[in-house]
A = this chain, B = another copy of it.
Amino acid sequence: MASDSEKSLLAGLLNPTPQTDQKVVSKRRTFRRCKSAPLAEFLPGEINSTNEVQSLKRAESFFDNIHPSFRKVAIYLIFYLAIGTICFYFVKDQIKGEKKDGVLDSVYFCIVTMTTVGYGDLVPNSTPTKLLACAFVFSGMALIGLTLSKGADYLVEKQEVLLIKALHLTQKLGPTEILKEMETNKVRYKCFMMMAFLVVLIIVGTVFLVTIEKLDVVDAFYCVCSTITTLGYGDKSFSTEAGRIFAIFWILTSTICLAQFLCYVAELNTENRQKSLVKFVLTRKMTNVDLEAADIDNDRNVGAAEFVIYKLKEMGKITQEDVSLLLQEFENLDVDQSGTLSTCDLMLAQSAQGRR
């Protein structure tokens, strides 16, 4: 293949003026296409329909790897709560405060501790329980911070496709457009969804506290705010049995939601800053010094791919380390040292690996 391309290259160079010979013209066209219009194949519309679907598939399989599957998160949580409940159930006489039902109180105490709400309506009252509570709050924080929040993020991303489909129902977007819309405004959608979810949780919590715990509206709202922020002064808390059952689910969901919402806001900030950096890099004038620095294969010309790599480095998306590592790998694969990879190179490289 390499020699074929070289031939057409040669033909192009040797025949700089238009030719009537059909064969030469067609050869030359191949060459010109590669030299003058490397971007023709990369118009966003065309590329997205094929490559983005591929990249989605790859992203999803990658996604499954990095995100702990939801089952795993649930198992961790149940395991943590089970151990917590058993521990605190056995020392329930060493916990003082407003007690209702043994098992329920233990679960409730676990949730209030692991989410760091810490009302103080139930408080450890002996040295072992105090140390147990210390151990539980640290492990609970780590569990929420490292696992549950990722589970929440995973759920939100899954919902996002549905949301975008629903929002653009009238326009009947194809899968490509949905992907594009999702790619561009991903974090924004996440923020809005989480905010909507938070508002629902706040309303549900307030209504519950007013109806079941018989608090007045301001106190209920105050208790809701104090809970979801994990402030937990403890002057208002869940004191009925029904309230504590509700609290177990509601506290866990709402504290994670607020934390995740803040994460998304921070992500949105970073993204906006990244976007303005990209804009700056794109509009900045290239100088000769830039050209020289961008020239990876040192042929005194900067090809499309070299330009892309140089600008990506400038945007801070990749580092020189990434590039060096891959160039080394390229050198290993490029067995015939032609400076380009061909099918032939791959076969040689793989047979060489087999022999080793």
Contact = CB atoms under 8 A, between A and B. Distances in A.
Interface of A: 1-2, 4-6, 9-10, 13, 33-42, 44, 47-48, 51-52, 54-55, 58-59, 62, 65-66, 113, 116-120, 123-124, 127, 130-131, 133-134, 137-138, 141-142, 145-146, 183, 218-219, 221-222, 225-226, 229-235, 258, 262, 265-266, 269-270, 273, 277-278, 282, 285-288, 291, 293-294, 296-309, 311-331, 333-334, 337-343, 346, 350
A120 B234 contact: yes
Determine which residue in A13, A306, A311, A316 has the highest number of CB atoms from chain B within 10 A of its CB, and name it: A306
A62 B221 contact: no
A218 B313 contact: no
Contact of A120 (B33, B38, B232): B232
Contacts of A230: 116, 118, 230
Contacts of A123: 233-235
Contact of A33 (B42, B298, B323): B298
Given A13-B13, A58-B316, A62-B277, 17 more contacts: A33-B298, A35-B337, A42-B323, A55-B313, A120-B232, A131-B218, A141-B262, A146-B266, A286-B333, A291-B342, A291-B343, A291-B346, A294-B341, A296-B305, A302-B341, A303-B305, A303-B341
Nearest to A58: B314
A343 B288 contact: yes
B316 A322 contact: no
A327 B327 CA distance: 21
Contacts of A113: 231
A226 B134 contact: yes
Q: List the 5 closest pairs (A to B, CB-CB), nearest first.
A: A38-B297, A34-B299, A305-B305, A301-B340, A118-B231
A139 to B, nearest CB: 10
B298 A304 contact: no
Contacts of A269: 146
13 contacts: A2-B301, A5-B300, A5-B301, A9-B9, A33-B298, A62-B277, A65-B273, A116-B231, A285-B346, A301-B342, A304-B327, A307-B330, A308-B309
Contacts of A51: 293, 320
Contacts of A293: 51, 54
A262 B134 CA distance: 16
Contacts of A277: 62, 65
